[in-house]
Protein backbone atom coordinates (compact mmCIF):
# COMPACT_ATOMS: atom_id res chain seq x y z
CA UNK A 1 0.00 0.00 0.00
CA UNK A 2 2.74 2.46 0.98
CA UNK A 3 4.68 1.64 -2.18
CA UNK A 4 1.57 2.05 -4.27
CA UNK A 5 0.74 5.49 -2.90
CA UNK A 6 4.39 6.47 -3.14
CA UNK A 7 4.52 5.60 -6.83
CA UNK A 8 1.28 7.37 -7.55
CA UNK A 9 2.50 10.57 -5.94
CA UNK A 10 5.75 10.42 -7.85
CA UNK A 11 4.02 9.75 -11.18
CA UNK A 12 1.55 12.56 -10.62
CA UNK A 13 4.43 14.93 -9.97
CA UNK A 14 6.07 13.78 -13.22
CA UNK A 15 2.75 14.30 -14.97
CA UNK A 16 2.77 17.95 -13.97
CA UNK A 17 6.50 18.41 -14.68
CA UNK A 18 7.08 19.56 -11.09
CA UNK A 19 10.12 19.12 -8.88
CA UNK A 20 9.99 17.74 -5.34
CA UNK A 21 10.75 21.27 -4.17
CA UNK A 22 7.70 22.64 -6.07
CA UNK A 23 5.47 20.09 -4.38
CA UNK A 24 7.03 20.76 -0.99
CA UNK A 25 6.40 24.50 -1.33
CA UNK A 26 2.81 23.90 -2.29
CA UNK A 27 2.17 21.59 0.68
CA UNK A 28 4.16 23.60 3.15
CA UNK A 29 6.47 20.71 4.02
CA UNK A 30 10.16 20.10 3.48
CA UNK A 31 11.57 18.63 0.29
CA UNK A 32 12.81 15.71 2.40
CA UNK A 33 9.23 14.96 3.40
CA UNK A 34 8.11 14.86 -0.23
CA UNK A 35 10.98 12.52 -0.94
CA UNK A 36 9.79 10.32 1.95
CA UNK A 37 6.29 10.28 0.45
CA UNK A 38 7.72 9.16 -2.86
CA UNK A 39 9.82 6.44 -1.30
CA UNK A 40 7.01 5.04 0.77
CA UNK A 41 8.66 6.07 4.04
CA UNK A 42 5.82 8.36 5.00
CA UNK A 43 2.26 8.90 3.91
CA UNK A 44 0.63 12.34 3.66
CA UNK A 45 -2.15 13.37 6.00
CA UNK A 46 -5.64 13.55 4.53
CA UNK A 47 -5.54 17.34 4.30
CA UNK A 48 -2.27 17.11 2.38
CA UNK A 49 -3.81 14.53 0.09
CA UNK A 50 -6.48 17.10 -0.68
CA UNK A 51 -3.79 19.64 -1.51
CA UNK A 52 -1.99 17.10 -3.71
CA UNK A 53 -5.23 16.28 -5.46
CA UNK A 54 -5.76 19.96 -6.29
CA UNK A 55 -2.16 20.55 -7.25
CA UNK A 56 -2.12 17.60 -9.66
CA UNK A 57 -5.69 18.00 -10.89
CA UNK A 58 -6.42 14.37 -9.99
CA UNK A 59 -9.15 12.87 -7.82
CA UNK A 60 -8.24 11.28 -4.49
CA UNK A 61 -9.02 7.82 -5.93
CA UNK A 62 -6.03 8.14 -8.18
CA UNK A 63 -3.58 7.86 -5.28
CA UNK A 64 -5.06 4.59 -4.02
CA UNK A 65 -5.86 2.77 -7.23
CA UNK A 66 -3.85 -0.38 -7.72
CA UNK A 67 -5.07 -0.95 -11.27
CA UNK A 68 -2.25 -0.21 -13.65
CA UNK A 69 -1.51 -0.70 -17.32
CA UNK A 70 1.60 -1.47 -19.28
CA UNK A 71 2.22 0.87 -22.20
CA UNK A 72 3.82 -0.54 -25.31
CA UNK A 73 6.73 1.12 -26.97
CA UNK A 74 6.12 4.78 -27.61
CA UNK A 75 8.07 6.35 -30.33
CA UNK A 76 9.03 9.93 -29.74
CA UNK A 77 11.37 10.11 -32.70
CA UNK A 78 9.39 12.68 -34.63
CA UNK A 79 8.93 14.70 -31.45
CA UNK A 80 12.62 15.19 -30.95
CA UNK A 81 11.89 18.73 -29.78
CA UNK A 82 10.20 17.20 -26.73
CA UNK A 83 12.30 17.20 -23.60
CA UNK A 84 12.51 13.99 -21.57
CA UNK A 85 10.44 15.74 -18.92
CA UNK A 86 7.65 16.46 -21.38
CA UNK A 87 7.79 12.93 -22.77
CA UNK A 88 7.45 11.43 -19.29
CA UNK A 89 4.61 13.78 -18.48
CA UNK A 90 2.82 12.79 -21.65
CA UNK A 91 3.31 9.10 -20.86
CA UNK A 92 1.77 9.57 -17.41
CA UNK A 93 -1.18 11.40 -18.90
CA UNK A 94 -1.79 8.59 -21.36
CA UNK A 95 -1.39 5.97 -18.63
CA UNK A 96 -3.98 7.59 -16.40
CA UNK A 97 -6.47 7.74 -19.25
CA UNK A 98 -5.87 4.13 -20.17
CA UNK A 99 -5.98 2.85 -16.60
CA UNK A 100 -9.46 4.27 -16.28
CA UNK A 101 -10.48 3.01 -19.70
CA UNK A 102 -9.28 -0.57 -19.26
CA UNK A 103 -10.48 -0.76 -15.66
CA UNK A 104 -13.92 0.25 -16.86
CA UNK A 105 -13.97 -2.35 -19.63
CA UNK A 106 -12.85 -4.97 -17.12
CA UNK A 107 -15.65 -3.94 -14.79
CA UNK A 108 -18.16 -4.28 -17.61
CA UNK A 109 -16.58 -7.59 -18.66
CA UNK A 110 -15.86 -6.24 -22.12
CA UNK A 111 -13.08 -8.27 -23.60
CA UNK A 112 -11.98 -8.69 -27.17
CA UNK A 113 -8.98 -9.55 -29.20
CA UNK A 114 -8.20 -7.03 -31.86
CA UNK A 115 -7.30 -8.44 -35.27
CA UNK A 116 -5.16 -6.54 -37.71
CA UNK A 117 -6.77 -7.21 -41.09
CA UNK A 118 -3.77 -6.06 -43.09
CA UNK A 119 -0.84 -7.54 -41.22
CA UNK A 120 -0.20 -9.98 -44.07
CA UNK A 121 0.36 -7.26 -46.63
CA UNK A 122 4.00 -6.34 -46.35
CA UNK A 123 4.74 -2.82 -47.42
CA UNK A 124 7.85 -2.34 -49.49
CA UNK A 125 6.98 0.47 -51.82
CA UNK A 126 4.54 3.33 -51.60
CA UNK A 127 2.01 1.65 -53.99
CA UNK A 128 1.61 -1.23 -51.55
CA UNK A 129 -0.07 1.18 -49.15
CA UNK A 130 -2.93 1.67 -51.61
CA UNK A 131 -3.57 -2.07 -51.65
CA UNK A 132 -3.50 -2.22 -47.89
CA UNK A 133 -6.00 0.62 -47.55
CA UNK A 134 -8.41 -0.97 -50.03
CA UNK A 135 -8.17 -4.29 -48.21
CA UNK A 136 -8.78 -2.63 -44.87
CA UNK A 137 -11.74 -0.61 -46.12
CA UNK A 138 -13.17 -3.85 -47.53
CA UNK A 139 -12.62 -5.80 -44.33
CA UNK A 140 -14.23 -3.00 -42.37
CA UNK A 141 -17.16 -2.89 -44.80
CA UNK A 142 -16.92 0.80 -45.48
CA UNK A 143 -16.42 0.77 -49.26
CA UNK A 144 -14.84 3.92 -50.62
CA UNK A 145 -17.39 6.50 -49.52
CA UNK A 146 -16.45 9.54 -47.45
CA UNK A 147 -16.06 8.77 -43.76
CA UNK A 148 -18.30 10.83 -41.58
CA UNK A 149 -16.63 10.30 -38.25
CA UNK A 150 -13.18 8.72 -37.99
CA UNK A 151 -13.09 8.48 -34.20
CA UNK A 152 -16.40 6.66 -34.15
CA UNK A 153 -15.20 4.30 -36.86
CA UNK A 154 -12.02 3.49 -34.96
CA UNK A 155 -13.91 2.98 -31.72
CA UNK A 156 -16.36 0.68 -33.49
CA UNK A 157 -13.37 -1.27 -34.76
CA UNK A 158 -12.12 -1.71 -31.20
CA UNK A 159 -9.33 0.79 -31.31
CA UNK A 160 -9.25 3.09 -28.33
CA UNK A 161 -9.02 6.77 -29.06
CA UNK A 162 -7.84 9.20 -26.43
CA UNK A 163 -7.94 12.91 -26.97
CA UNK A 164 -5.59 15.01 -24.90
CA UNK A 165 -6.29 18.69 -24.44
CA UNK A 166 -3.74 19.75 -21.88
CA UNK A 167 -0.73 19.13 -24.12
CA UNK A 168 2.02 20.95 -25.93
CA UNK A 169 0.78 22.20 -29.31
CA UNK A 170 3.75 20.45 -30.90
CA UNK A 171 2.23 17.12 -29.92
CA UNK A 172 0.14 15.70 -32.77
CA UNK A 173 -0.50 12.09 -31.95
CA UNK A 174 0.90 8.65 -31.25
CA UNK A 175 -0.13 5.04 -31.38
CA UNK A 176 0.75 2.04 -29.27
CA UNK A 177 -0.58 -1.19 -27.79
CA UNK A 178 -1.57 -1.39 -24.11
CA UNK A 179 -1.02 -4.55 -22.10
CA UNK A 180 0.24 -6.01 -25.35
CA UNK A 181 -3.18 -6.36 -26.91
CA UNK A 182 -5.31 -3.21 -26.98
CA UNK A 183 -4.50 -0.81 -29.79
CA UNK A 184 -4.64 2.84 -28.78
CA UNK A 185 -4.39 6.06 -30.71
CA UNK A 186 -3.74 9.28 -28.84
CA UNK A 187 -4.40 12.58 -30.56
CA UNK A 188 -4.14 16.26 -29.70
CA UNK A 189 -7.78 17.23 -29.06
CA UNK A 190 -7.17 20.90 -29.81
CA UNK A 191 -6.46 20.39 -33.50
CA UNK A 192 -8.85 21.59 -36.20
CA UNK A 193 -11.03 18.70 -37.33
CA UNK A 194 -9.28 18.04 -40.67
CA UNK A 195 -5.89 17.83 -39.01
CA UNK A 196 -7.27 15.56 -36.30
CA UNK A 197 -8.70 13.21 -38.93
CA UNK A 198 -5.43 13.05 -40.83
CA UNK A 199 -3.42 12.50 -37.64
CA UNK A 200 -5.73 9.72 -36.45
CA UNK A 201 -5.32 7.86 -39.72
CA UNK A 202 -1.60 8.50 -39.86
CA UNK A 203 -1.32 6.88 -36.44
CA UNK A 204 -3.60 4.07 -37.58
CA UNK A 205 -1.01 3.47 -40.30
CA UNK A 206 1.69 3.10 -37.62
CA UNK A 207 -0.50 0.59 -35.79
CA UNK A 208 -1.54 -1.58 -38.69
CA UNK A 209 0.90 -1.31 -41.58
CA UNK A 210 3.40 -4.09 -41.88
CA UNK A 211 6.31 -1.74 -42.55
CA UNK A 212 9.82 -2.76 -43.57
CA UNK A 213 12.78 -1.88 -41.41
CA UNK A 214 13.37 1.61 -42.74
CA UNK A 215 14.33 5.07 -41.61
CA UNK A 216 11.87 7.29 -39.79
CA UNK A 217 11.36 9.58 -42.73
CA UNK A 218 10.33 6.73 -45.00
CA UNK A 219 8.04 5.31 -42.34
CA UNK A 220 6.35 8.69 -41.99
CA UNK A 221 5.87 8.82 -45.76
CA UNK A 222 4.17 5.43 -45.74
CA UNK A 223 1.86 6.52 -42.95
CA UNK A 224 1.05 9.84 -44.60
CA UNK A 225 0.19 7.99 -47.76
CA UNK A 226 -1.98 5.63 -45.74
CA UNK A 227 -3.88 8.52 -44.17
CA UNK A 228 -4.35 10.36 -47.48
CA UNK A 229 -5.45 7.22 -49.28
CA UNK A 230 -7.86 6.35 -46.48
CA UNK A 231 -9.44 9.79 -46.37
CA UNK A 232 -9.59 10.31 -50.09
CA UNK A 233 -8.93 7.12 -52.12
CA UNK A 234 -7.34 7.49 -55.53
CA UNK A 235 -10.41 6.14 -57.29
CA UNK A 236 -12.49 8.92 -55.77
CA UNK A 237 -9.91 11.57 -56.54
CA UNK A 238 -10.23 10.74 -60.22
CA UNK A 239 -14.00 10.62 -59.99
CA UNK A 240 -14.19 14.04 -58.34
CA UNK A 241 -11.62 15.84 -60.47
CA UNK A 242 -11.53 13.99 -63.77
CA UNK A 243 -8.30 13.44 -65.70
CA UNK A 244 -5.31 15.72 -66.11
CA UNK A 245 -6.06 19.32 -65.17
CA UNK A 246 -4.26 22.59 -65.65
CA UNK A 247 -6.44 24.64 -63.39
CA UNK A 248 -8.43 23.89 -60.27
CA UNK A 249 -10.76 26.39 -58.62
CA UNK A 250 -10.87 27.09 -54.92
CA UNK A 251 -14.62 26.35 -55.01
CA UNK A 252 -13.92 22.75 -56.08
CA UNK A 253 -11.34 22.32 -53.38
CA UNK A 254 -13.68 23.68 -50.71
CA UNK A 255 -16.50 21.38 -51.83
CA UNK A 256 -14.16 18.39 -51.61
CA UNK A 257 -12.85 19.48 -48.23
CA UNK A 258 -16.40 19.68 -46.89
CA UNK A 259 -17.32 16.31 -48.32
CA UNK A 260 -14.26 14.28 -47.32
CA UNK A 261 -12.95 16.14 -44.28
CA UNK A 262 -9.46 16.52 -45.67
CA UNK A 263 -7.54 19.80 -45.71
CA UNK A 264 -7.05 21.72 -48.95
CA UNK A 265 -3.24 21.39 -48.95
CA UNK A 266 -3.70 17.63 -48.53
CA UNK A 267 -6.19 17.53 -51.43
CA UNK A 268 -3.77 19.40 -53.66
CA UNK A 269 -1.04 16.96 -52.65
CA UNK A 270 -3.38 14.09 -53.54
CA UNK A 271 -4.06 15.64 -56.96
CA UNK A 272 -0.36 15.78 -57.71
CA UNK A 273 0.14 12.28 -56.33
CA UNK A 274 -2.62 10.96 -58.60
CA UNK A 275 -1.13 12.67 -61.64
CA UNK A 276 -4.03 15.10 -62.09
CA UNK A 277 -1.95 18.19 -61.37
CA UNK A 278 1.64 18.57 -62.46
CA UNK A 279 4.48 19.12 -59.99
CA UNK A 280 4.93 22.54 -61.55
CA UNK A 281 1.32 23.43 -60.69
CA UNK A 282 1.93 22.24 -57.17
CA UNK A 283 4.78 24.62 -56.58
CA UNK A 284 2.79 27.41 -58.27
CA UNK A 285 0.04 26.75 -55.76
CA UNK A 286 2.46 27.07 -52.85
CA UNK A 287 3.97 30.26 -54.16
CA UNK A 288 0.55 31.75 -54.68
CA UNK A 289 -0.65 30.99 -51.17
CA UNK A 290 2.60 32.03 -49.54
CA UNK A 291 2.42 35.54 -50.95
CA UNK A 292 -1.30 36.05 -50.56
CA UNK A 293 -2.37 36.07 -46.90
CA UNK A 294 -6.10 36.11 -47.59
CA UNK A 295 -5.80 33.16 -49.97
CA UNK A 296 -3.63 31.42 -47.41
CA UNK A 297 -6.37 31.84 -44.81
CA UNK A 298 -8.96 30.44 -47.21
CA UNK A 299 -6.78 27.46 -48.02
CA UNK A 300 -6.06 26.64 -44.39
CA UNK A 301 -9.52 27.30 -42.94
CA UNK A 302 -11.33 24.43 -41.22
CA UNK A 303 -14.69 23.59 -42.80
CA UNK A 304 -15.65 19.99 -42.13
CA UNK A 305 -18.82 19.98 -40.12
CA UNK A 306 -18.68 16.78 -38.10
CA UNK A 307 -16.81 17.40 -34.90
CA UNK A 308 -14.43 14.52 -34.22
CA UNK A 309 -15.01 13.79 -30.57
CA UNK A 310 -14.40 10.56 -28.79
CA UNK A 311 -17.45 9.52 -26.78
CA UNK A 312 -17.05 5.82 -26.09
CA UNK A 313 -15.37 6.16 -22.70
CA UNK A 314 -18.04 8.50 -21.38
CA UNK A 315 -20.74 6.22 -22.71
CA UNK A 316 -19.20 3.25 -20.93
CA UNK A 317 -19.04 5.18 -17.67
CA UNK A 318 -22.76 5.96 -17.83
CA UNK A 319 -23.52 2.39 -18.82
CA UNK A 320 -21.58 1.06 -15.84
CA UNK A 321 -23.32 3.58 -13.63
CA UNK A 322 -26.83 2.69 -14.75
CA UNK A 323 -26.09 -1.03 -14.47
CA UNK A 324 -24.84 -0.29 -10.95
CA UNK A 325 -21.39 -1.66 -11.69
CA UNK A 326 -19.95 1.55 -10.29
CA UNK A 327 -21.09 4.20 -7.81
CA UNK A 328 -21.81 7.82 -8.63
CA UNK A 329 -18.63 8.79 -6.81
CA UNK A 330 -16.59 6.45 -8.97
CA UNK A 331 -18.29 7.74 -12.12
CA UNK A 332 -17.51 11.30 -11.15
CA UNK A 333 -13.92 10.35 -10.57
CA UNK A 334 -13.65 8.60 -13.95
CA UNK A 335 -15.21 11.51 -15.78
CA UNK A 336 -13.32 14.05 -13.71
CA UNK A 337 -16.59 15.86 -13.08
CA UNK A 338 -18.14 16.74 -9.77
CA UNK A 339 -20.71 14.42 -8.28
CA UNK A 340 -23.54 16.90 -8.73
CA UNK A 341 -23.04 16.99 -12.52
CA UNK A 342 -23.04 13.23 -12.80
CA UNK A 343 -26.15 12.92 -10.65
CA UNK A 344 -28.00 15.34 -12.89
CA UNK A 345 -27.26 13.37 -16.03
CA UNK A 346 -28.24 10.04 -14.51
CA UNK A 347 -31.78 10.81 -13.38
CA UNK A 348 -33.59 8.24 -15.46
CA UNK B 1 -23.09 2.59 17.19
CA UNK B 2 -20.48 4.37 15.11
CA UNK B 3 -21.43 5.16 11.50
CA UNK B 4 -18.78 6.47 9.11
CA UNK B 5 -20.05 7.95 5.90
CA UNK B 6 -17.44 7.51 3.25
CA UNK B 7 -19.47 8.58 0.20
CA UNK B 8 -20.24 12.20 -0.60
CA UNK B 9 -23.17 11.05 -2.65
CA UNK B 10 -25.15 10.17 0.47
CA UNK B 11 -24.63 13.54 2.07
CA UNK B 12 -25.64 15.25 -1.15
CA UNK B 13 -28.90 13.30 -1.18
CA UNK B 14 -29.58 14.06 2.46
CA UNK B 15 -29.09 17.77 1.89
CA UNK B 16 -31.16 17.75 -1.28
CA UNK B 17 -34.05 15.90 0.34
CA UNK B 18 -33.81 18.14 3.43
CA UNK B 19 -33.21 15.16 5.65
CA UNK B 20 -30.11 16.49 7.37
CA UNK B 21 -32.06 17.44 10.46
CA UNK B 22 -33.66 14.01 10.73
CA UNK B 23 -30.30 12.39 10.02
CA UNK B 24 -28.64 14.28 12.85
CA UNK B 25 -31.30 13.10 15.29
CA UNK B 26 -30.55 9.43 14.68
CA UNK B 27 -29.13 7.73 17.69
CA UNK B 28 -25.80 7.01 16.07
CA UNK B 29 -22.32 8.31 16.50
CA UNK B 30 -21.98 9.99 13.07
CA UNK B 31 -18.69 10.48 11.26
CA UNK B 32 -17.43 11.46 7.87
CA UNK B 33 -14.02 12.45 6.47
CA UNK B 34 -12.44 15.64 5.19
CA UNK B 35 -11.99 13.89 1.83
CA UNK B 36 -15.76 13.44 1.55
CA UNK B 37 -16.43 16.97 2.68
CA UNK B 38 -14.18 18.26 -0.06
CA UNK B 39 -16.42 16.78 -2.72
CA UNK B 40 -19.38 18.93 -1.69
CA UNK B 41 -20.19 22.34 -3.09
CA UNK B 42 -20.69 25.29 -0.74
CA UNK B 43 -24.44 24.86 -0.54
CA UNK B 44 -24.08 21.21 0.40
CA UNK B 45 -21.17 21.75 2.73
CA UNK B 46 -22.75 24.40 4.98
CA UNK B 47 -25.33 22.14 6.68
CA UNK B 48 -22.71 19.45 7.21
CA UNK B 49 -20.25 21.92 8.70
CA UNK B 50 -23.07 23.11 10.98
CA UNK B 51 -23.62 19.56 12.17
CA UNK B 52 -19.93 19.31 12.85
CA UNK B 53 -19.93 22.58 14.80
CA UNK B 54 -22.94 21.37 16.76
CA UNK B 55 -20.94 18.23 17.65
CA UNK B 56 -23.51 15.99 15.99
CA UNK B 57 -21.07 14.73 13.40
CA UNK B 58 -17.34 14.25 13.56
CA UNK B 59 -15.09 14.97 10.59
CA UNK B 60 -12.19 12.55 10.59
CA UNK B 61 -8.85 13.79 9.39
CA UNK B 62 -5.67 11.83 9.48
CA UNK B 63 -3.20 14.08 11.18
CA UNK B 64 -0.10 12.16 12.00
CA UNK B 65 2.38 11.56 9.27
CA UNK B 66 3.12 7.91 9.60
CA UNK B 67 6.77 7.02 9.45
CA UNK B 68 6.99 3.38 8.50
Tens digit of each residue's pLDDT, chain B (68 residues): 999 998 888 999 999 999 999 999 999 999 999 999 998 988 899 999 999 998 889 999 887 655 44
> Which residues in B lie closer than 8 A to residue A45 (C-beta atoms)?
61-65
Average pLDDT in the A216-222 region?
Answer: 92
CA angle A69, A73, A76 (to 5 degrees): 120
pLDDT at residue A197, as a whole number: 97
The span from the CA of A339 to the CA of B16, in Å, is 13
Q: Do A329 and B9 touch (CB under 8 A)?
A: yes
pLDDT above 50: residue A227: yes
Q: How many CB atoms lie within 10 A of CB A80?
A: 7
pLDDT at residue A186, as a whole number: 94
DSSP-assigned beta bridge partners for residue B60: B33
pLDDT at residue A1, as a whole number: 72
pLDDT above 60: residue A133: yes
Q: Nearest 10 degrees: CA dihedral of A130, A132, A133, A136?
A: 160
The span from the CA of A23 to the CA of A36, in Å, is 12
pLDDT tens readout for residues A39-57: 999 999 999 999 999 999 9
pLDDT grade, residue A268 (50/70/90)?
Answer: very high
DSSP-assigned beta bridge partners for residue B4: B31
Count, residues in chain A = 348
DSSP-assigned beta bridge partners for residue A42: B67
Q: Which residues of B touch A (CB under 8 A)?
A: 7-9, 12, 33-35, 38-39, 41, 44, 60-68
Task: Considering only the beta carbons, identify the residue of A41, A46, A53 that sits closest to B68.
Answer: A41
Average pLDDT in the A235-249 region?
Answer: 91
Q: Scanning every residue of chain B, which has its alpha carbon at the shortest distance from the alpha carbon of A343?
A: B9
Average pLDDT in the A329-343 region?
Answer: 87
Average pLDDT in the A9-19 region?
Answer: 95
HSE-up of residue A25 (Cα within 13 Å, Cβ side) = 5
pLDDT at residue A102, as a whole number: 93
pLDDT at residue A347, as a whole number: 64
pLDDT tens readout for residues A137-166: 999 999 888 999 999 999 999 999 999 998
Average pLDDT in the A228-247 region?
Answer: 92
Average per-residue pLDDT for chain A: 91
State the sign of the Cα–Cα–Cα–Cα dihedral A152, A183, A186, A207. Answer: negative
The span from the CA of A62 to the CA of A50, in Å, is 12
pTM of this prediction? 0.87
Which range has highest mean pLDDT (A196-205, A338-347, B19-28)?
A196-205
CA angle A86, A89, A95 (to 5 degrees): 140
- The per-residue DSSP string of A93-139 comes to HHHHHHHHHHHHHHHTT-------TTTTSB--SHHHHHHHHHHHHHH
ipTM for the assembly: 0.84
Average pLDDT in the A80-106 region?
Answer: 89
The span from the CA of A151 to the CA of A160, in Å, is 9
HSE-up of residue A282 (Cα within 13 Å, Cβ side) = 15
Q: Do B39 and A49 touch (CB under 8 A)?
A: no
pLDDT grade, residue A31 (50/70/90)?
Answer: very high
CA angle A239, A138, A277 (to 5 degrees): 25
Q: Do A36 and B62 touch (CB under 8 A)?
A: no
pLDDT at residue A77, as a whole number: 56
The span from the CA of A245 to the CA of A264, in Å, is 16
Average pLDDT in the A331-344 region?
Answer: 86
Asked if residues A53 and A59 have their Cβ atoms less than 8 Å apart, the reply is yes
Average pLDDT in the A61-77 region?
Answer: 82
The span from the CA of A203 to the CA of A188, in Å, is 12
> Which residues in A lie closer than 8 A to residue B39 (C-beta atoms)?
329, 332, 338-339
> Which residues in A lie closer than 8 A to residue B61 (C-beta atoms)?
45-47
Q: Do B68 and A340 touch (CB under 8 A)?
A: no
3-state secondary structure of A183: strand
Amino acid sequence: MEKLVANRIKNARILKCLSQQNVADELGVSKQMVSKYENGEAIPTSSRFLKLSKLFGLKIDYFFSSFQVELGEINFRKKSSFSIKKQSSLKEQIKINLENYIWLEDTLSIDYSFKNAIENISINKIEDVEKAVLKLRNEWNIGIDPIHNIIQLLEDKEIKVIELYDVDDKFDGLATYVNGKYPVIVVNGNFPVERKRFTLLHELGHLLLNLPNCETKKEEQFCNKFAAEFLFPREIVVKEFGGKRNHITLAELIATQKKYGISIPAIVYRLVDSGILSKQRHSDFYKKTRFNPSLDREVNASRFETPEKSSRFEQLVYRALSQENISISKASSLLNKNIENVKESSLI
Amino acid sequence: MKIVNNDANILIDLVKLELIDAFSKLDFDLHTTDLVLDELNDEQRTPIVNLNNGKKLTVIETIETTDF
